[in-house]
Amino acid sequence: MPWSRRDLLKAGLGVGASLLFPPAPALADTLIRRTIPSTGESLPVIGIGTARRYEQVTTEAERSPLREVLRQFKETGGRVIDTAPSYGTAETVVGDLVAELKIRESLFIATKLGVRGRDAGIEQLEQSFKRLRTPKIDLIAVHNLQDTQTQLSTLRQWKQAGRIRYVGITTSFERQYQEFEQTMRAEALDFIQVDYALDNRKAGQRILPLAADRGIGVMINLPFGRGRLFAAVQGKSLPPWASEFDCGSWAQFFLKYIISHPAVTCALPGTAKPEYLVDNLGAARGRLPNAEMRARMERLIDSV
């Protein structure tokens, strides 16, 4: 069944409902955007994740492709970069490159808070601000529900003081879903971040609808299941019907599945190569699969 207008409005899509249909030719090259329910600000539906490939960067040879990724990302209209203090060198690399490229103003930087205890939380926050070299961080989310109440209370104080724009929570573990849902019901959150992929659809059953109901923005981590989806389709051609939603690669197939869910604000594919950036941002253009097509995509992946 296609998404109803009510579903879309509830998910904060508003006029973005038209995104499920072909864009007007004049807009064909702009990235699809979604609205953050708590403020109405809009973001492009594809961002960049910095786990793993940004974690152990020490040489210029390792930094160079990442600089090019961030440069092209900004140039193409990309905004959301997701990182975390626990990702080794990632926050430092992002902070240094963003400062060097002078692109802070155009980006939406999201990081996390992942320690227990109020003082340790404050120490980690100060460290993130230093590493990211910015006076204001767009979103900080409690990482994997570590000491959620304590850390959310600090994050809210910092939000009130103007140092943070949005607060949220993250998980990528199904065993945390119950507590995650309870937190979504009990707390006022701007964003959640959760794992969701064509072959990992559990968050779509309760968490994404709950986010739409509660007016919470949704970022998606592990959109390729850490590359697992590419392994599943290795050696296989895209089905011809992928062209019906302007999909030219497997990466776009996997990402368009995610961003066509009406509750999703933004997907965060781990992106460390310029050619992957171009490919992944391509998912934020053109038509998106409707509900019927999404079911077909699920059947395809379930059969491989």
Ligand X SMILES: NC(=O)c1ccc[n+]([C@@H]2O[C@H](COP(=O)([O-])OP(=O)(O)OC[C@H]3O[C@@H](n4cnc5c(N)ncnc54)[C@H](OP(=O)(O)O)[C@@H]3O)[C@@H](O)[C@H]2O)c1
Q: Is 23 or 65 the residue whose CB approaches ligand X more closely? A: 65
The answer to whether 144 contacts ligand X (rule: CB under 6 A) is yes
- The binding track of 63-82 with respect to ligand X, each residue x by CB under 6 A or -, is -------------------x
Q: Is 32 or 229 the residue whose CB approaches ligand X more closely? A: 229
- Please, what is the Cα angle at 254 between 217 and 296, to 5 degrees? 105
Distance CA 190, CA 141 (A): 9
Distance CA 285, CA 19 (A): 9
The answer to whether 156 contacts ligand X (rule: CB under 6 A) is no
Among 10, 33, 53, 74, binds ligand X (CB under 6 A): 53
Give the residue ranges of DSSP H helices in the chain: 5-10, 60-75, 90-101, 118-132, 148-160, 177-186, 207-214, 228-232, 250-259, 274-282, 291-303
Closest approach, Cβ 1 to ligand X, in A, equals 28
Q: Two tokens at 140?
A: 């900080």
Q: Using the structure block, give the residue that is written with the tokens 């919470």.
A: 216
Closest approach, Cβ 226 to ligand X, in A, equals 4
Give the residue ranges of DSSP H helices in 112-176: 118-132, 148-160
- The binding track of 162-201 with respect to ligand X, each residue x by CB under 6 A or -, is --------xxx--------------------x--------
| CA nearest neighbour of 155 among 171, 178, 138, 132 | 138
Side chain identity, residue 271:
T
Question: What Rg do the C-alpha atoms of the chain give, in angstroms?
Answer: 18
Q: Is 140 or 210 the residue whose CB approaches ligand X more closely? A: 140
Q: Two tokens at 135?
A: 């006076």
The answer to whether 50 contacts ligand X (rule: CB under 6 A) is yes
Which residues ranging from 213 to 272 are in contact with ligand X (CB under 6 A)?
A: 221-227, 230, 251, 268-272
- With contacts defined by CB under 6 A, how many residues of the chain interact with ligand X? 31
Distance CA 65, CA 71 (A): 10
Closest approach, Cβ 230 to ligand X, in A, equals 5
Closest approach, Cβ 268 to ligand X, in A, equals 4
Closest residue to ligand X in the complex (CB): 270
Q: Is 197 or 210 the residue whose CB approaches ligand X more closely? A: 197
Which residues ranging from 27 to 46 are in contact with ligand X (CB under 6 A)?
A: none
The residues of the shown chain that bind ligand X, judged by CB under 6 A, are: 49-53, 82, 112, 143-144, 170-172, 193, 221-227, 230, 251, 268-273, 276, 279-280
